[in-house]
Amino acid sequence: MSGSSRPPLRPSVCIAAEGDTHQDSRMTYVVTENCIRCKYMDCVSVCPVDCFYEGENMLVIHPDECIDCGVCEPECPAEAIVPDSDPAASDWIGLNERYAALWPNISVAKQPPADAAAMDGAPDKRNLYFSERPGDGDV
Protein backbone atom coordinates (compact mmCIF):
# COMPACT_ATOMS: atom_id res chain seq x y z
CA MET A 1 0.00 0.00 0.00
CA SER A 2 1.06 3.60 -0.37
CA GLY A 3 2.98 5.05 2.56
CA SER A 4 2.16 8.66 1.78
CA SER A 5 -0.64 8.99 4.36
CA ARG A 6 1.01 7.01 7.09
CA PRO A 7 1.78 8.71 10.39
CA PRO A 8 5.44 9.15 11.28
CA LEU A 9 7.05 5.96 12.45
CA ARG A 10 8.90 5.57 15.68
CA PRO A 11 11.21 2.70 16.56
CA SER A 12 9.35 -0.21 18.06
CA VAL A 13 11.79 -0.26 20.96
CA CYS A 14 10.27 3.03 22.13
CA ILE A 15 6.81 1.51 22.19
CA ALA A 16 8.06 -1.57 23.99
CA ALA A 17 9.76 0.56 26.61
CA GLU A 18 6.75 2.72 27.34
CA GLY A 19 4.65 1.86 30.33
CA ASP A 20 1.04 1.39 29.30
CA THR A 21 -0.40 2.56 32.54
CA HIS A 22 -3.53 4.27 31.27
CA GLN A 23 -6.66 2.88 32.79
CA ASP A 24 -9.83 4.55 34.00
CA SER A 25 -13.37 3.58 34.83
CA ARG A 26 -14.22 2.44 31.31
CA MET A 27 -14.50 -1.27 30.75
CA THR A 28 -13.16 -2.65 27.54
CA TYR A 29 -11.52 -5.63 25.97
CA VAL A 30 -7.91 -5.43 24.84
CA VAL A 31 -5.90 -7.08 22.06
CA THR A 32 -2.57 -8.37 23.34
CA GLU A 33 0.76 -9.69 22.11
CA ASN A 34 -0.17 -12.93 20.42
CA CYS A 35 -2.27 -11.14 17.82
CA ILE A 36 0.95 -9.78 16.30
CA ARG A 37 1.56 -11.57 12.99
CA CYS A 38 -1.38 -13.91 13.65
CA LYS A 39 -4.17 -11.48 12.86
CA TYR A 40 -6.73 -14.20 12.21
CA MET A 41 -9.59 -11.66 12.30
CA ASP A 42 -12.25 -14.00 13.67
CA CYS A 43 -12.85 -11.21 16.19
CA VAL A 44 -13.80 -8.73 13.47
CA SER A 45 -16.59 -10.96 12.25
CA VAL A 46 -18.38 -11.10 15.59
CA CYS A 47 -18.00 -7.59 17.03
CA PRO A 48 -21.46 -5.97 17.12
CA VAL A 49 -20.11 -2.42 17.09
CA ASP A 50 -17.17 -2.74 14.66
CA CYS A 51 -14.63 -1.36 17.09
CA PHE A 52 -11.51 -3.10 15.75
CA TYR A 53 -8.75 -1.08 14.07
CA GLU A 54 -6.10 -2.54 11.81
CA GLY A 55 -2.37 -2.18 12.00
CA GLU A 56 0.07 -3.72 9.57
CA ASN A 57 0.33 -6.91 11.60
CA MET A 58 -2.14 -6.74 14.49
CA LEU A 59 -5.52 -5.32 15.44
CA VAL A 60 -6.53 -3.16 18.40
CA ILE A 61 -9.84 -2.38 20.09
CA HIS A 62 -11.07 1.18 20.50
CA PRO A 63 -11.74 1.61 24.24
CA ASP A 64 -14.42 4.26 23.71
CA GLU A 65 -16.36 2.10 21.26
CA CYS A 66 -16.11 -1.35 22.85
CA ILE A 67 -19.32 -2.17 24.73
CA ASP A 68 -17.65 -4.87 26.81
CA CYS A 69 -19.87 -7.63 25.44
CA GLY A 70 -17.06 -10.20 25.51
CA VAL A 71 -18.19 -11.95 22.33
CA CYS A 72 -14.80 -11.64 20.66
CA GLU A 73 -12.72 -13.15 23.45
CA PRO A 74 -13.52 -16.84 22.86
CA GLU A 75 -13.46 -16.37 19.09
CA CYS A 76 -9.78 -15.45 18.91
CA PRO A 77 -7.76 -18.53 17.87
CA ALA A 78 -4.63 -16.92 19.29
CA GLU A 79 -6.27 -16.20 22.67
CA ALA A 80 -5.03 -12.64 22.28
CA ILE A 81 -8.15 -10.84 23.55
CA VAL A 82 -8.61 -10.27 27.27
CA PRO A 83 -10.71 -7.96 29.44
CA ASP A 84 -8.85 -4.92 30.71
CA SER A 85 -9.21 -6.27 34.23
CA ASP A 86 -6.97 -9.23 33.32
CA PRO A 87 -3.34 -8.80 34.42
CA ALA A 88 -2.30 -9.76 30.88
CA ALA A 89 -3.98 -6.60 29.59
CA SER A 90 -1.97 -4.12 31.62
CA ASP A 91 0.85 -3.66 29.11
CA TRP A 92 -1.59 -3.37 26.19
CA ILE A 93 -4.31 -0.94 27.31
CA GLY A 94 -2.36 2.12 26.29
CA LEU A 95 -1.28 0.60 22.99
CA ASN A 96 -4.88 -0.27 22.06
CA GLU A 97 -6.03 3.24 22.90
CA ARG A 98 -3.16 4.90 21.04
CA TYR A 99 -3.39 2.96 17.80
CA ALA A 100 -7.19 2.80 17.66
CA ALA A 101 -6.94 6.55 17.13
CA LEU A 102 -4.36 6.18 14.34
CA TRP A 103 -5.22 3.02 12.43
CA PRO A 104 -8.20 2.47 10.09
CA ASN A 105 -11.36 0.71 11.17
CA ILE A 106 -11.90 -2.86 10.01
CA SER A 107 -15.29 -4.55 10.07
CA VAL A 108 -14.86 -7.30 7.49
CA ALA A 109 -12.43 -10.16 8.09
CA LYS A 110 -9.66 -10.84 5.60
CA GLN A 111 -7.30 -13.75 5.07
CA PRO A 112 -4.76 -14.14 7.90
CA PRO A 113 -1.04 -14.03 7.12
CA ALA A 114 0.30 -17.19 5.49
CA ASP A 115 2.57 -17.84 8.48
CA ALA A 116 -0.05 -17.06 11.14
CA ALA A 117 -0.05 -20.58 12.57
CA ALA A 118 3.74 -20.65 12.74
CA MET A 119 3.76 -17.32 14.60
CA ASP A 120 1.06 -18.34 17.09
CA GLY A 121 2.79 -18.37 20.46
CA ALA A 122 6.13 -17.06 19.22
CA PRO A 123 8.02 -15.31 22.04
CA ASP A 124 8.66 -11.60 22.46
CA LYS A 125 6.51 -10.54 19.51
CA ARG A 126 6.14 -6.97 20.73
CA ASN A 127 9.84 -6.25 20.70
CA LEU A 128 10.59 -8.27 17.61
CA TYR A 129 7.64 -7.65 15.30
CA PHE A 130 5.30 -4.86 16.44
CA SER A 131 4.71 -2.36 13.63
CA GLU A 132 3.26 1.11 13.98
CA ARG A 133 2.25 1.10 10.34
CA PRO A 134 -1.49 1.10 9.70
CA GLY A 135 -3.21 -1.71 7.88
CA ASP A 136 -5.53 -1.13 4.95
CA GLY A 137 -8.75 -1.27 6.98
CA ASP A 138 -11.99 -1.76 5.06
CA VAL A 139 -11.18 -1.09 1.44
Residues in contact with ligand SF4 by the rule CB under 6 A: 29, 31, 35, 38-43, 46-47, 49, 51, 59, 61, 66-72, 76, 78, 80-81
**Quick check: helix, strand or coil at residue 13?**
helix
Strands 29-31 and 81-83: antiparallel
Q: What angle do CA 56, 12, 110 make, to 5 degrees?
A: 15
Q: 15 vs 61, which CB is nearer to ligand SF4? A: 61
Largest CA distance in the chain: 38
- State in angstroms the smallest separation of the CB of 4 from ligand SF4: 26
Q: 66 vs 95, which CB is nearer to ligand SF4? A: 66
Q: 20 vs 42, which CB is nearer to ligand SF4? A: 42
